Amino acid sequence: MYSFHTWRTDVGQQLAHVYRVRRTKLEQGDKELAKTLPEITREHGHDKTILIDGFERSGEAIAELIRRSMAKEGKVKGFKRGIVALTGYFIAHDAHHRGQILLTLKQAKVKFSPNARMALWAWNQI
């Protein structure tokens, strides 16, 4: 079973990975947008402040990439199927790792309140 330190590191490292994939795809699609994002490594997985900042900034950059792409008929450099497919990729990749993170926490016997569990799906409150 996981110790507190192990699951915490695993979860943080998974979050850092999700961020790095976002940044890599942004670099392929729009180098200018990617330059606005900090470098986050596996070792940053323990730093909640860095991860939160990275996710907020990468989310804003993805939104801007979508806006820019729509102005170019949905085209995105480095992604031949365009912005719709790239957006689907971002969603699928984030969701895959979200599931892994939740499983890691469940195996570590981390308890979530009913409100916290419901908040995971409260998309209208985002």
State yes or no: pLDDT of 4 exceeds 90: no
Question: 119 vs 29, which has greater pLDDT?
Answer: 29
Q: Return the HEC string of 26-74.
A: HHHHCHHHHCCCCCCCHHHHHCHHHHHHHHHHHHHHHHHHHHHHHCCCC
Distance CA 71, CA 77 (A): 13
- pLDDT value of residue 1: 46
Categorize the per-residue pLDDT at 72 as very low, low, confident or very high, splitting at 50, 70 and 90.
very high
**Torsions phi, psi for 86 (to 5 deg):** -65, -40
Q: How many domains does the chain have?
A: 1
Residue range of the domain that includes 47: 4-125
Q: Strand, helix or coil at 112? A: coil
Sign of CA dihedral 21, 27, 32, 35: positive
Place of tokens 């719709």: 84
DSSP 76: B
